[in-house]
Chains A and B, each alone.
Chain A
């Protein structure tokens, strides 16, 4: 995919995808004029095969498959440097959020989506407990990602310093929190 020749035609350019990104992110894709300032400041560029400005160019050309096939969007740290420095007010951080959402909707978990697995577990914790339960977050992540021994030595050190709680209680208003999740779910089916 990465090295194949790019042919621009109505078949390969998915402009509906671009419109979806624009509507989800509330940011224009067309405004990017490739100055490269986003990439110059991006702390994660060395981990990406398509740096931020190239993501923007591919997006302008409707090359959604190339974007979603790669790992770049999963290596965005949401640090907002790109959005802050863009001279044309492209909100690249919001566009990255939109791309992650569309990728998840289209393909589900990809091999690069450890980030999304962590995201999902993080949100599950909110739904179950109301707040983060860091111990559970780390443990379940290791099991689900198959890295059973990851940070094995770190856990006891954190525990002995009182930085991890073995047990966690639920928020008192957990039903209200569940209701928020349920109402959003309902809205998804109708208006969103």
Chain B
């Protein structure tokens, strides 16, 4: 065991989706971190970050929910690891808004009846690419994903707006390609990697999702990708769960498995496929993985 690895330890905010519709993301994150010997401890009693609905309705509520989470997370050792791109964006936005607005900070601190700690918030991608490091990640690969053509899908909130997530370049990020590239997978160049999937319109206006996510699938297919890779349970819901409807609406057959990035990374790191939630995906990735000799 590498001694530097064991020093990495994080508090973990899974977010609501990872306990329900996006449970594969949670399972594979835990599996991956265990395989890489990175410590991960879930923040007890964390609450919903409010996602888009809270800031749509009431900014103070949105900031207060996130501030409460930051203060709960402060009880657990290590920087805060966040898997969901939307939760990550809300937590970082809160820190960004409160940093230069003492008036707002006062209101938020009154709302949560406590102070907002300076907790470092990091997306899993950042932890893997920067803290753990790509070289080490490459060394941890037991089953190279060579031959698998992956379309890395960033969506909106991982990189936008530039001053909030500070994860990578806003208009031309490469962090997902670099991370999955370390496993030997091939990444494709495609047009729609930063376009919106329709996000939470999935409940209120599914027609929007069929159009936007349909365009994303079409673009990935045109670029010759075998599969999509995402880092957000909302994107996954739209691209995987609604894929059949998209196929019916557009008359195009995609059959494009949509992986959470941690599923592919954990598979490469030697975590047994049975522990990665592949059977929970609506578009089964098993035929593809068999074809590429990855099972």
| A and B are interacting partners | yes
* Chain A residues within CB distance 8 Å of chain B: 24, 43-44, 46-47, 75, 77-81, 83-84, 91, 93, 97, 100-101, 104, 114-120, 122-123, 125-126, 130-132, 134, 137-138, 141, 145, 150-151, 154, 157-158, 161-165, 171-173, 176-177, 179-181, 183-184, 187, 191-192
Asked if B275 is at the interface of the complex by the 8 Å CB criterion, the answer is no
In the complex, chain B residues whose CB is within 8 Å of the CB of A77: 156, 196, 198-199, 201, 208
The answer to whether A126 and B48 have CB atoms under 8 Å apart is yes
In the complex, chain B residues whose CB is within 8 Å of the CB of A138: 203
Asked if B173 is at the interface of the complex by the 8 Å CB criterion, the answer is no
The answer to whether A101 and B52 have CB atoms under 8 Å apart is no
* Chain B residues within CB distance 8 Å of chain A: 16-17, 19-23, 45-48, 50-61, 64-65, 68, 107, 110-113, 156-157, 160-162, 170-171, 195-196, 198-201, 203-206, 208, 211-212, 241, 279-282
Cα distance A118–B199 in the bound complex, in angstroms: 13
The answer to whether A132 and B20 have CB atoms under 8 Å apart is yes
Q: Knowing A115-B205, A118-B200, A183-B113 touch, does A134 contact B54 (C-beta < 8 A)?
A: no
Q: Knowing A173-B47, A187-B110 touch, does A84 contact B20 (C-beta < 8 A)?
A: no
The answer to whether B199 and A78 have CB atoms under 8 Å apart is yes
Q: Knowing A84-B161, A115-B205 touch, does A79 contact B199 (C-beta < 8 A)?
A: yes
- The minimal Cβ–Cβ distance linking A170 to chain B, given in whole angstroms, is 11
The answer to whether B47 and A177 have CB atoms under 8 Å apart is yes
The answer to whether A162 and B45 have CB atoms under 8 Å apart is no
Q: Knowing A78-B199, A173-B45 touch, does A180 contact B56 (C-beta < 8 A)?
A: no
In the complex, chain B residues whose CB is within 8 Å of the CB of A43: 195-196, 198, 212
Can you pick out 25 interface pairs between chain A and chain B where the beta carbons lie within 8 Å of each other? A43-B196, A44-B196, A75-B205, A77-B199, A78-B199, A79-B199, A83-B160, A97-B56, A118-B204, A119-B53, A119-B57, A122-B53, A122-B54, A123-B57, A132-B17, A134-B16, A134-B21, A157-B282, A158-B241, A161-B282, A165-B19, A176-B68, A180-B68, A181-B61, A187-B111
